[in-house]
Amino acid sequence: MNEERQAYRIRQALNHGLQDISPAASRRLEAARHLAVSRQKQPVRQMVAELAAYPAGTPASGGKRDTSVIVRSLLAIVALLSGMWLAFHWHSERYVAEIEAIDSALLTDDLPPEVLLDRDFLEWLKDNSSEE
């Protein structure tokens, strides 16, 4: 409670002083603020640049971060390979099911494979026209 009262008094005193600042001093203060803010932004830009450059370059900071990045990279590779294998496996299952169904059907059909291989004979059988 006492601290709050103290802070209030300080704020009042500072605000009171603002009225006495000349326009020239006010402009200098504004310029100084801009300069301070621009300097504040530089470390942030530098950090972003480091992070962007990291995968191709050498790690800029400690071993702990290196390990976590390597683990993340390995996990990404494992996930990618697993996804690819699942896709291939799905292809295999689908292909085998389709081809097996058709092979079983034609291997048990009235028409044997050797007849189905003889295109001319099949065309002759398919011809519906009757004798002249």
Partner 1 sequence: MAQRQFIRGVILALACQLPALAAPPTAAIIGTAPQPAWQALTASQREILAPLAAEWGAMEHVRRKQWLASAARYPSMSETEKQRFQARMNDWARMTPEQRAKVRENYLEINRLPTDEKEAIRKKWSAYKQLPEEKRQGVRENHKSAILLAPPPEPETGTEEATAASDQ
* Nearest-approach distance from CB 76 to partner 1, in angstroms: 21
Separation CA 17–CA 28 (nearest Å): 16
C-alpha distances in Å from residue 51, one per residue of 1, 71, 78, 101: 46, 16, 23, 54
Separation CA 68–CA 66 (nearest Å): 6
Binding status of residue 117 toward partner 1 by CB under 8 A: yes
Q: Which residue type is seen at 23?
A: P
Q: List binders of partner 1 among 31-90 (CB under 8 A).
A: 85, 87-90
* Nearest-approach distance from CB 79 to partner 1, in angstroms: 17
Q: List binders of partner 1 among 87-116 (CB under 8 A).
A: 87-116
Q: Which residue lies nearer to partner 1 by CB, 21 or 83?
A: 83
* Residues at the interface with partner 1 (CB under 8 A): 85, 87-117, 119, 121-122, 124-131
